[in-house]
């Protein structure tokens, strides 16, 4: 999606190291989300934000933290990466929660933790 940039697109790191993934949007949307995608599980919500400095947990938030200091940026941090956090991570944005405000997704970050 042209309005959402995830960085890095690929990363390989070692167990126990900190990792930060960045999501940047140019749409000025209020809501931003982090998901992880794993085979057999679909997409599962990690954390989301409903405004600057306003965040909340999703269904698989353990081991992850987020920050949103600007409307356009939403950071996902793994404080001490574990092999179970090897996954593909997607950022999504939406204007609001109405039916005509669906979520739009970035192209993902493939994270491998050895």
Instruction: Give the interface with other proteins as residue ranges (CB under 8 A).
Output: 1, 4, 31, 40-45, 48, 50, 58, 90, 92, 94, 97-99, 102-108
Q: Is 83 helix (H, G, I), strand (E, B) or coil?
A: helix
Select 44 or 73, whichever has its Cβ closest to other proteins. 44
Question: Whole-number minimum distance, CB 37 to other proteins, in Å?
Answer: 9
Select 62 or 102, whichever has its Cβ closest to other proteins. 102
CA distance 34 to 87: 12
Q: Which residues are CB-contacts of 46 (< 8 A; sequence separation ≥ 6)?
A: 34, 35, 36, 58, 60, 61, 64, 66, 76, 89
* Residue 94 exposure: Cα atoms within 13 Å on the Cβ side: 13
Question: Whole-number minimum distance, CB 80 to other proteins, in Å?
Answer: 27
Question: Whole-number minimum distance, CB 5 to other proteins, in Å?
Answer: 11
């Amino acid at each position: 999606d042209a309005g959402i940039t995830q960085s890095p697109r690929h990363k390989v790191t070692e167990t126990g190291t900190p990792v930060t993934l960045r999501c940047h949007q140019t749409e000025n949307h209020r809501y931003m989300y982090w998901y992880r995608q794993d085979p057999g599980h679909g997409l599962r919500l990690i954390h989301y934000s409903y405004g600057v400095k306003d965040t909340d947990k999703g269904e698989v938030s353990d081991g992850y933290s987020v920050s949103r200091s600007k409307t356009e940026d939403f950071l996902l941090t793994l404080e001490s990466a574990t092999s179970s956090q090897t996954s593909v991570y997607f950022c999504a944005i939406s204007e609001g929660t109405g039916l005509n405000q669906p979520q739009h997704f970035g192209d993902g970050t493939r994270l491998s933790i050895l």
